[in-house]
Every structure is written in C-alpha cells, then in structure tokens.
Amino acid sequence: MRLSALPGALVLTAATLAGAANPAAAETPANAATLDAGLNLHHNTATVTYERVDGTVNSVKIISMDVTSGEPDCAWVQWNDPKNTGDGWTNLDSEPSCHGIGLSETLNVVIKAPAGHPLKVRLASYHADSNAVMHKDVAKL
C-alpha cells in the first residue's frame, strides 16, 4: 500500500515545485472589460485589458485593447478623463478601427482620476456617412 501512495506524493511535490518556479503566478492578474455596441453590420466590439496600480488611489494601467468595428462603421475606445473639458472622454487608441478591420494595440499607459471619480471606458462608433456617435457601451474599471 505504501508503494501506491508514493507516485501520488511525487506528483504533488512536482506540482508544488512547478508552481514555485513560476513567479508570474503570484502577480496581480489582469482584468478585461468587454464592450459591445450595435447590431448586424453595425456591430462593434472591444476588449480592454487592465490592472490596478498597487498603492495608488484610482489608478489603472491599460495594458492592451482590441477593437473591431462593424463593416460600415469606425469604432474606438475612450476613457472618462476628468481633465477633458470637452465631452469628458479621451481616446485610448491611436486611431479608430474602420470598415470591419480589427485594431489591436499594446498601450501600457496609466490612467488616473481623483478619488470618487469612477474610472470607465467606452466603445464609441459612428457610421461612415455620419460623424455623429451612434453606438456606445460603457464599462467601469
């Protein structure tokens, strides 16, 4: 009976050692905000990957984002920047995703807001024949 218990103990020891050899597993995991707006040909999606900045109030590091616009649309991702005196939203991506083509960007940028200002991202889009923002989806970080 002791011989049958030995392989199980070896597996457990090997798994423990493998976990200790991977220090990334102990780091704060990244979160993802999934945004979705519009229907049919005007269906736009985005995923924003982020993590909290330890020891800092109301700060988030935007790691990356993926945006795909609907075929006749252009879509982009913004965050609710408290310093933006226009409409209160600042673009995160360098350019919009247009006409069904996806856009992926690695940003590694920290966004900050005063305490009490909830950090949010939104997916906005407009139709090719209009500059008015047509679809929006908002997610709290």
pLDDT of 43 > 60? The answer is: yes
Asked, for residue 23, whether it belongs to a domain, the answer is no
- Rounded to an integer, the average pLDDT of 57-74 is 94
Asked, for residue 67, whether it belongs to a domain, the answer is yes
| Model confidence pLDDT, tens digit, residues 80-121 | 999 998 889 999 999 999 999 999 999 999 999 999 999 999
pLDDT band at 79 (very low <50, low <70, confident <90, very high): very high
Asked, for residue 18, whether it belongs to a domain, the answer is no
pLDDT of 2 > 70? The answer is: no
Query: How many domains, in total, are found in the chain?
Result: 1
Range of the domain at 76: 28-140
Lowest mean pLDDT among 2-11, 41-50, 62-71, 81-90: 2-11
Q: What is the pLDDT of residue 130?
A: 73
Report the chain's mean pLDDT, rounded to a whole number: 82
| Model confidence pLDDT, tens digit, residues 12-41 | 444 444 444 444 444 556 899 999 998 898
Whether 68 and 97 have beta carbons less than 8 Å apart is answered as yes
What Cα–Cα distance (Å) separates residue 87 from each residue in 45, 90, 132?
22, 9, 13
93 backbone dihedrals φ, ψ, rounded to 5°: -85, 155
Higher-confidence residue of 48 and 24: namely 48
Asked, for residue 95, whether it belongs to a domain, the answer is yes
User: Which CATH number fits the domain that encloses residue 109?
Assistant: 2.60.40
